[in-house]
Amino acid sequence: MKLAAADSEDLEILSARLQDAAGKLKDFVWLPRQRRFAALVNRYRWEDAKGPSSGNKGTRVRAGLHFDGVLKVESRNIKQGAPDAVVSLLAINFIPVGGEDPGGVLELQFAGGGTMRLTVECLDATLSDLTGPWEAVGRPVHDGGA
């Protein structure tokens, strides 16, 4: 699978595909000279998941995500100095500057309340699956049982 996002509607689809993606902090990297933010994650394949009562744990796949035109990266409630710490991505939102300016802030929201905020020139994201699927250890569960 390969998806690109150039507007908020595209980003909603990309965000849904990345819900519950897990990765180590050292695999989230900002490359300021290239103005790129990249991440490697183990993406839960919600598009193939059966209902919770099926007993099917679902599958995961290694995926690459990158954003171009990144000017600044900030984090809050993310444990610094712990490169092997694992984070679980819940959603990605775009907050536009407004008017004619295509720029804004991409906010990556993680389980436990952590966030990464990427100031971008415009919304330019790509998600690509890099490996074949494998059986997930368990199915992600959220408040409300979903």
Q: Tens of pLDDT along the chain (146 residues)?
A: 899 999 999 999 999 999 999 999 999 999 999 999 999 999 999 887 665 555 578 899 999 999 999 999 999 999 888 999 999 999 999 999 888 889 999 999 999 999 999 999 999 999 999 999 998 887 887 765 44
Q: Please report whether residue 31 resides in a domain.
A: yes
Contact 114, 75 (CB under 8 A): yes
Q: Please report whether residue 46 resides in a domain.
A: yes
Q: Please report whether residue 144 resides in a domain.
A: no
Residue with the two structure tokens 């000279």: 33
| Residue 3 three-state SS | strand
Q: Please report whether residue 138 resides in a domain.
A: no
Question: Could you tell me the sign of the dihedral formed by the alpha carbons of 89, 119, 4, 36, in that order?
Answer: negative
Domain encompassing residue 15: 2-133
Q: Please report whether residue 56 resides in a domain.
A: yes
Structurally, how many domains does the chain consist of?
1
